[in-house]
Structure 1
Amino acid sequence: MVVEAETAALIFTYGTLKRGFSNHPLLQDMMATGDASYVGSYRTRDSLPLVCGPYRVPFLLNLPGRGQRVTGELYAVSQRALEKMDELEGLQRGHYERLAIDLVRGDDEEETKKKKRPPDHTAAQAYYAHRSYAEEMWKKNGEEGYCCYTEKVARGYVKRKDRPQTLTFLDQIRLFLNE
């Protein structure tokens, strides 16, 4: 099964869902079943803050004009895959919000080798930190962000299964913001 363009959502990943990071196996599984496909390397058209919260979890903040242009990966995903991603990102629990984002094509050696060029500019969706704590997260990070979630930036990341199970993720965020 291949993701049908008409039914696919374009999702911009900037953190742990990217290749080489802890949640990428979810996307690999979706690609194996035809529910997702890699589109290319992209970056945000506008500056947006990319910061780390508790356990070095990455958060893109919907605060346009602050931060930097953020680099990430774009995937086309089926409705079934989108539901799995929404669950991972805790949409129903107020962890993240899936909102529109404008992107421009980035440099990707893999695409160049294949001579496959995705569109230079595209509209997609991304998982942003929930608005209920985004501004506080920006302030907690000294109003400084990253242009890319790299191995160096992620150093100290704690996988979900290794975090305290007695607290919800929102509780962990609140504790982080109040430290």
Structure 2
Amino acid sequence: MGVPEGRRRRLIFTYGTLKKGFANHRLMEDLITSGDAVFIGSYRTADKYPLVCGPYRVPFLLNLPGRAGSHHVWGEAYEVSDSAVSRMDELEGITRGHYERLPIRLCSAGGGDAAVVEAEAYFAHRSYAEEMWRRNGERGYAVYSEKEAKGYVKRKDRPQHLTFLDQIDLFLSEPPQPVRLV
């Protein structure tokens, strides 16, 4: 069962808070309920990309393929309608320069000789991606899990007098916090 006929279909790769069990998955649940999205399965990127955390432990996939310290990133794929893409674009701040929706190649989580499929993903906007990579010590994650999400702050609980781009600028201007081993 897919998105109803007569609606354009797209494959969207989610790697962060839109995944099952994370803060923004409610949007995906709403889209599934309305018939505008269908969960396809677990996938990983065919190419290695940096996946990092920014302010408030928000995840960012950086369109810097093949960088040392990057990984095949794991996430979920959804078949979605144009209406769903509009709602996802709004959440991801496409028109405000937060993220960019760009093509990406995926492999199913089954591994082996899995076929590569074309999809789209929300990448950090190019205006700050390189700086975000440096701020994260040029090291990324293979998956945004509960461990990486620890300390995530929901949008409603962040300072309301600052835009998200202001919050990103502040994050990028601060020195990295030392990693504490517990």
TM over 0.5: yes
- Could you say which residue in structure 1 is the equivalent of 2:100? 97
C-alpha displacement of 1:107: 3.8
Secondary structure of the residue aligned to 1:133 is: helix
d(CA) in 1 for partners of 2:3, 2:130: 36
Match of 2:90 among 87, 106, 124: 87
- Number of matched residues? 169
Matched, 1:30 2:31: yes
Paired residue type of 2:104: I
Equivalent positions of 1:11-160 (< 5 A) are 11-66=12-67, 67-107=70-110, 120-160=115-155
C-alpha displacement of 1:2: 5.3
Task: Report if the CA contact (8 A) 2:55-2:171 is conserved.
Answer: yes
After TM superposition, the score normalised by the length of structure 1 is: 0.91
d(CA) in 2 for partners of 1:133, 1:2: 36
d(CA) in 1 for partners of 2:72, 2:53: 16
C-alpha displacement of 1:71: 0.2
d(CA) in 1 for partners of 2:83, 2:102: 18
For the aligned residues, what is the CA RMSD?
1.6
Task: Report if the CA contact (8 A) 2:12-2:119 is conserved.
Answer: yes
Task: Report if the CA contact (8 A) 2:55-2:168 is conserved.
Answer: yes
C-alpha displacement of 1:9: 1.1
Task: Report if the CA contact (8 A) 2:2-2:79 is conserved.
Answer: no
- Could you say which residue in structure 2 is the equivalent of 1:114? none
Q: Percent identity, aligned pairs only?
A: 64
Deviation readout 1:60-117 (Å, 9 max, x if unpaired): 0000102111000000111111100000000000000000000000049xxxxxxxxx
d(CA) in 1 for partners of 2:35, 2:159: 34
After TM superposition, the score normalised by the length of structure 2 is: 0.90
Deviation readout 1:1-42 (Å, 9 max, x if unpaired): 951477111100000000000000100011011000001100
- Could you say which residue in structure 2 is the equivalent of 1:178? 173
